[in-house]
Amino acid sequence: MDYKNIESFNEGIIIKDVENFELDHIFECGQCFRWNKQDNGNYIGVAYGKVIEIEKKDKDVKIYNIDEDEFNKTWCDYFDLKRDYTTIKEKFEKDPLLKRSVNFGYGIRLLQQEPFELTISFIISSNNRIPMIKRAINNLSLKWGKSIEYKGEIYFAFPTEADLERASLEEIQSCGLGFRSKYVKDTVHRVHSGEVNLEFIKSQSDDVCHEELQKLSGIGPKVSDCIMLFSMQKYSAFPVDVWVKRAMQFFYLAPDVSLPKIRIFARDKFENLAGFAQQYLFYYARENNIKIE
């Protein structure tokens, strides 16, 4: 996809005529924890050691606090802007059941996030609620992350593995991680020591990647799928949480199907686009509070 339709302005860049890009859909579909909606409808987030603000007006997207070079090097891929989501949605819309979810979350894009941050974030997410997850990640960043100023406010980057390696178990626990603290401590140490190489895991096939991530403390099939999908570009991943389970039961399956069977069914049905289907289904189910009788 050619991004000739980018213009710079004094506070950042404008991308003209962007298709399939809605802020609420992207930032509220369960894939990220460091983006927060502002009173004016914009979102401010911290990623890759940078604070950026994003605004959508009609079909134009403004990204504040970056220049064109930064956009081309990092943020074009981060927002998955080279992918043709219209083609993906056209495939999905042939399925009358999935079509309802696609039409509802039509502006979702899968962010390409940083693997170490996502690994720790989704260990924290296990059996946890989003406000608590966000608070715990923010607390870790506040204590060990680099401070960044934007518009007179101080934000904090997610800490590196070297930053977190210095933290004691008690210090990590004080950030509100609960029983997950020991999993985070162990994973940080194994990544920092070089025993585990997340970039190497990312380079493996989808199935190998899924198995290798589960060798880390506190990572089961669902968390492994989340890390793969949101930071390793493994699009056959299909994380099954309570909302996705409800959506799959609501649209496709009998109510008593197990989580592993739902995952297998979805990967067979949606193949290498399973992760995109998961995001449409998750967002539809949660926003509409789908319940199974």
pTM value?
0.95
* pLDDT in the model for residue 292: 66
d(CA 226, CA 52): 23
Residues 285 and 247 sit within 8 Å (Cβ to Cβ): yes
Among the ranges given (56-70, 146-160, 207-221, 254-268), the one the predictor scored with the smallest mean pLDDT: 254-268
74, amino acid identity: T
Query: Where in the chain are the domains?
Result: 8-82, 115-231, 242-287
* pLDDT in the model for residue 3: 64
Q: Is residue 282 scored above 50 in pLDDT? A: yes
Do the domains at 8-82 and 242-287 have one common CATH topology?
Answer: no
Architecture of domain 242-287: Orthogonal Bundle (1.10)
* pLDDT in the model for residue 253: 83
**CA nearest neighbour of 47 among 149, 188, 157, 202:** 157
pLDDT in tens, 74-129: 999 999 999 999 999 999 999 998 999 999 999 999 999 999 999 999 999 998 89
Residues 202 and 183 sit within 8 Å (Cβ to Cβ): no
DSSP letter at 160 equals P
pLDDT in tens, 1-13: 446 689 999 999 9
- CATH homologous superfamily of 115-231 equals Hypothetical protein; domain 2 (1.10.340.30)
More confident residue, 290 or 111: 111
Show Cβ contacts of residue 263 under 8 Å, excluding neighbours closer than 6 positions: 221, 225, 238, 240
Question: What is the signed CA dihedral for 289, 290, 291, 293, rounded to 10 degrees?
Answer: 150
* pLDDT in the model for residue 4: 67
pLDDT in tens, 155-203: 999 999 999 999 999 999 999 999 999 999 999 999 999 999 999 999 9
Sign of the Cα torsion 143, 230, 21, 248 reads: negative
* pLDDT in the model for residue 2: 44
* pLDDT in the model for residue 1: 45
Architecture of domain 8-82: 2-Layer Sandwich (3.30)
* Mean pLDDT computed over 274-293: 90
pLDDT in tens, 235-279: 999 999 989 999 999 889 877 788 899 999 999 999 999 999 999
